[in-house]
Amino acid sequence: MSYTITEKCNGCGACARTCPASAIAGEKKKLHAIDGSLCIECGA
> What pTM value is reported for the model?
0.75
Do residues 43 and 27 make contact, with C-beta atoms less than 8 angstroms apart? Answer: no
How many whole angstroms separate alpha carbon 11 and alpha carbon 31? 6
Please tell me whether residue 27 adopts helix, strand or coil conformation: coil
Q: Is the pLDDT of residue 6 over 80?
A: no
Q: How far apart are CA 35 and CA 25, in angstroms?
A: 8
β strands within 1-44, DSSP E = 24-25, 33-34
Predicted local distance difference test score (pLDDT) of residue 2: 57
Tell me the mean pLDDT in the region 8-34. Answer: 91
Spatial separation of the C-alpha atoms in residues 34 and 22, rounded to whole Å: 9
Q: Please, what is the average pLDDT of the chain?
A: 87
Q: Where do the structural domains in the chain lie, given as residue ranges?
A: 1-44
**CATH number for the 1-44 domain, one of 3.40.1190.20, 1.20.1250.20, 3.30.70.20, 3.40.50.11740?**
3.30.70.20
